[in-house]
Structures are given as structure tokens and as C-alpha cells.
Amino acid sequence: MIRPPTVDLEIVLGVAFFAESVFFKDAAAGLVVRQEGGLKAVKPEQYNEKTPLLAAYYSYWSDLPLDGHFQAWIIPHRGMAAWPTNDGCTLLIAGWPFAEFEERRGDIEGNYMSVVDLVPEFAERVRGAKREERFLGMAVPGYFRRPYGPGWALVGDAGYNKDFITAQGISDAFRDAEICVTALDEWLSGARPFDAAMADYQATRDAHVLPMYEFTAELASLEPPPPELASVLAAAAGNQEAMDGFARVNAGVTSPAEYFSEENVGRILAAAERG
Ligand SMILES: Cc1cc2nc3c(=O)[nH]c(=O)nc-3n(C[C@H](O)[C@H](O)[C@H](O)COP(=O)(O)OP(=O)(O)OC[C@H]3O[C@@H](n4cnc5c(N)ncnc54)[C@H](O)[C@@H]3O)c2cc1C
């Protein structure tokens, strides 16, 4: 719980973008710090918008062991991934381009299994397994929002969102929260005006996430990689350092901007030429 000094402002961190209530605390997502006289809806400027790119459904399966491994299959215009989760179950997610969402939503199981069937040896195991839950589906639009205004601030998905395919949202939300509260601390301690501190929060966030935002959109389109990317990935195959680097990009440790920089790409291509 953050308790700012008494100011005639409402300060909301995280989730209360639509809220009209007074004090609340949300265990999953953050906290409201303080409000005076009710929380007004704010309408932040939205930019870099993208419509949903991927429609995906997942469920939990028993008797589908993966020996602790994460597995993913990227097939042009289809994608599938599976990983072990709690209670001995495996989460299996399958998806197709959002452009096909409407035509496929009437038969979720059939369309899900049609993706699974693209990998016959795995499909056989899935058909021998048991689905333990209903299907859950999702499609996420991409956006950046100006994350502050008079009396309010946004972190996490409320301020910036993208497709889930790169699984970055939780780390992003934590990082936003840290940068945001650092900016708020600068303001509340009198070091900087609110707008200056929060404009830096926005700029830092945007600079950090933009390369991953574009990389995520590229993956979520389920299109084959464009020729330049395909040639880098082909050159990276078998080069342990380059493959580890690409794994770090997908884990959100290394920025795609760094990995796909002219210098690093040149290094990868040169190593491939040398054999
Ligand atoms: C299918 C899918 C898979 C994903 N997989 C991953 C993954 O593997 N790794 C990863 O890092 N990220 C993943 N993400 C993204 C990640 O879930 C989100 O980025 C992250 O949860 C954002 O956290 P948040 O706190 O900003 O928002 P949320 O987790 O959405 O929390 C917002 C909370 O606010 C509450 N709320 C909203 N309005 C109000 C209100 N008016 N009053 C009170 N409470 C309110 C909501 O009920 C909710 O609990 C995935 C997303 C999806 C859709």
C-alpha cells in the first residue's frame, strides 16, 4: 500500500482505469492508493494501435506428459504450443490468424484439433489424452496509452498491451510499476514536477517495449518470416551463441533491436558463411 501525502488528487496504479468506486484493493493487479470524491473515468490518448492478429484457444490435458519441456510448433498460418502445468496437466494452446476468427468460432474443438493434427505424432498423443477443462479463447489488440494525467497513472495492460504470443505481459507490468513508482516518488518527494517525471516514465516504457511490440506482432501474424528475418534465423541455426541469443530475445532478456542490429546480424551471417 502506497500512502502519498495529502494532495487533492486521485492516484490510481494499475487497474482502476474504468473504476468509479472509492477505495479498493485488487490482489491480482495492484492497488488504488487514494482517491478523493470518487474516481472519474479517464480517457488516455491511445497510439501505435494494432487490431488483434491471432485467435487462440487453450485447455488443460491429463495423460499428455512433456517431461518438463516447453514445445512450440509454428506452421504458416497456424501455431501451437504445449507445456506442463499444475496437477500433472499439460496446457495446450492452438491458434490461427484473427482474420479467421469469425468463420472458426462455431467449431472451436474441431478447429483446435485440426491444428493439432498438423503434427501427426503429437496429435496421436493428444487423442490418447483427456481434456480436463473447457476451451478458453482470446484475441488481444495492441495499444500504447498515455499512462498518466492529472490524478491518475496506469501500469501493465491498462497502459500498454500486445498479443500474448511472446508472453511478456507480466514482466512488462512489473517493470512499468517500478518505473512508474520511481517517477511518482520523484514527484512526491518534490524532486520534479508530476508531468516531467511521468513523461519520462512514458518515454522510458515506450523505448523499452517498442521493439518487442513489433516483434510480437510479427510472430502473432503467423505469417512466414519475411526474407531478411528468415535468412538470419537460417544462419543462426547450429550457431549456439546465436541460438542462445534468439532464445534470450523470446524470453524478453535481450531486445529484438539489439539482436537484429546490423552489427549482430552481420556477425551471425559472417559466422554462417565461414561454416
Ligand atoms: C492467453 C494469455 C496468455 C498470457 N500468457 C502470458 C505469459 O505466459 N507470460 C506473461 O508474462 N504474460 C502473459 N500474458 C499477459 C499477462 O497475463 C498480462 O500482461 C498481465 O496479466 C497484465 O497484468 P495487469 O496487472 O496489468 O492486468 P491484469 O492481470 O488483467 O489485472 C487487472 C485486474 O484488474 C481488475 N479490475 C479491472 N477493472 C477493475 C475495477 N474497476 N475495479 C477493480 N478491479 C478491476 C481485473 O479483474 C483484474 O484482476 C498472457 C495473456 C493472455 C491473454
- Atom nearest to 19 CA in ligand 1: 41
> 116 versus 12: which is more confidently predicted?
116
Is 141 near ligand 1, meaning CB less than 6 Å away?
no
Those residues with Cβ within 8 angstroms of residue 90's Cβ, 6 or more apart along the chain or in another chain: 60, 61, 62, 64, 65, 66, 82, 83, 84, 129
Q: Which band of pLDDT confidence, cut at 50, 70 and 90, is reported for residue 14?
A: very low
Centre of ligand 1 from the C-alpha of residue 91, in Å: 18
Asked if residue 112 has pLDDT above 80, the reply is yes
pLDDT of residue 43: 76
Is 14 near ligand 1, meaning CB less than 6 Å away?
yes
When pLDDT is averaged across residues 223-230 and rounded to a whole number, the result is 92
Domain boundaries, the chain: 11-45+141-215, 53-138, 227-274
Q: Which band of pLDDT confidence, cut at 50, 70 and 90, is reported for residue 151?
A: confident
pLDDT of residue 40: 47
Residue nearest to atom 13 of ligand 1 (CA): 167
Asked if residue 37 has pLDDT above 70, the reply is no
Checking DSSP bridges between strand 11-13 and strand 30-34, what pairing results, if any?
antiparallel
Q: Which band of pLDDT confidence, cut at 50, 70 and 90, is reported for residue 41?
A: low
* Homologous superfamily in CATH for domain 11-45+141-215: FAD/NAD(P)-binding domain (3.50.50.60)
Percentage of residues in the chain with pLDDT exceeding 70? 85
- Atom nearest to 168 CA in ligand 1: 11
User: What's 11's DSSP letter?
Assistant: E
Asked if residue 233 has pLDDT above 70, the reply is yes
CA 125 to each of CA 66, 71, 95, 104, 114: distance values in angstroms, whole numbers, following the listed order:
11, 14, 19, 24, 14
Centre of ligand 1 from the C-alpha of residue 170, in Å: 8
Residue nearest to atom 21 of ligand 1 (CA): 170
Contact 119, 71 (CB under 8 A): no
Cell numbers that stand for 190 in this block: 518534490
Centre of ligand 1 from the C-alpha of residue 81, in Å: 20
Contact 15, 42 (CB under 8 A): no
Q: Which band of pLDDT confidence, cut at 50, 70 and 90, is reported for residue 44?
A: confident
Is 26 near ligand 1, meaning CB less than 6 Å away?
yes
When pLDDT is averaged across residues 128-150 and rounded to a whole number, the result is 94
List alpha helices for the chain, DSSP H.
101-104, 108-116, 120-127, 169-188, 194-220, 227-236, 240-250, 256-259, 262-274
Cell numbers that stand for 264 in this block: 549482430
Query: What CATH architecture does domain 53-138 belong to?
Result: 2-Layer Sandwich (3.30)
When pLDDT is averaged across residues 141-146 and rounded to a whole number, the result is 95
24: β partners: none
Residue nearest to atom 50 of ligand 1 (CA): 164
When pLDDT is averaged across residues 46-60 and rounded to a whole number, the result is 97
Asked if residue 129 has pLDDT above 80, the reply is yes
Asked if residue 275 has pLDDT above 50, the reply is yes
- Atom nearest to 15 CA in ligand 1: 34
Is 157 near ligand 1, meaning CB less than 6 Å away?
yes
Average pLDDT of the chain to the nearest whole number: 86
When pLDDT is averaged across residues 180-197 and rounded to a whole number, the result is 94
Residue nearest to atom 34 of ligand 1 (CA): 15
pLDDT of residue 47: 97
Centre of ligand 1 from the C-alpha of residue 169, in Å: 8
Q: Which band of pLDDT confidence, cut at 50, 70 and 90, is reported for residue 21?
A: very low
**Substitution candidate for ligand 1 out of 133, 152, 157 with most atoms within 8 A of CB:** 157
